[in-house]
Chains A and B, each alone.
Chain A
């Protein structure tokens, strides 16, 4: 159990367009989901914490208006990169924490975003 999926697994878009990435917990309910960004050969950096039914909490330096996060249900969180630019190209990974469970986070497989 505890499977997290992401869609799409990769996306290429033109500069200025918006891209939506979905993160789903397939077999459990997740009250909290986390979004991370990973640049090549670097570690994961937490972007924001998403709680079901409330506004996301963003880390310092992450633009709220650029990275829109919605956590509308206990199994789905979305990250929308608005007006994407080449510098937004990165590997985006989500994780989900099981409702009422221990503090283990289960990670999705990641989404590779390339902005041309």
Chain B
């Protein structure tokens, strides 16, 4: 059974800092990995999706890396801003041989607070 763990559970940083969120998964047979953002009481916003054959994806100040063999992904946020404050969720879809099994397994999330 796939298990996804995120470290740290919570992080508080001053504005402008670069930061790294960590995600690990137990079954390396993943189809893809996604990072999401969730604001309090809201749904999910997809930030980055990394296919199993890729090593990283970038969008603006965000960069996500994937090391499938070690079961790890990191989300790097550059020059953090108060508006980045949210819960960040990592999720994987298990698959094999280029076929997705379709189900997302989520980590517990990292609660990020960026203070001015």
Contact = CB atoms under 8 A, between A and B. Distances in A.
B42 A109 contact: yes
A103 B31 contact: yes
Interface in B70-102: 89, 91, 93, 100, 102
Interface residues on A, range: 20 to 34
A107 B102 contact: no
A97 B102 contact: yes
Name B's interface SS.
strand
A6 B44 CA distance: 13
B103 A49 contact: yes
B22 interface: no
Q: B interface, how many residues as a size bin? A: 20 to 34
Contacts of A93: 43-44
A46 B43 contact: no
A87 to B, nearest CB: 20
Contacts of A103: 31-32, 93, 100, 102
B62 interface: no
A104 B43 contact: no
A43 B107 contact: yes
B101 to A, nearest CB: 10
Contact of A104 (B46, B89, B109): B46
Contacts of A91: 41
A19 B46 CA distance: 28
Interface string B4-38: 00000000000000000000000000011010100
Contacts of B49: 104
Of the candidates A42, A45, A93, A105, the one having the most CB atoms from chain B within 10 angstroms of its own CB is A105
Contacts of B106: 43-45
Interface string A32-46: 101000000011111
Interface of B: 31-32, 34, 36, 41-46, 49, 89, 91, 93, 100, 102-109
Given A42-B108, A46-B103, A105-B104, 19 more contacts: A32-B102, A43-B106, A44-B89, A44-B104, A46-B104, A46-B105, A49-B102, A49-B103, A91-B41, A93-B44, A95-B104, A97-B102, A103-B31, A103-B32, A104-B49, A107-B36, A109-B42, A109-B43, A110-B42
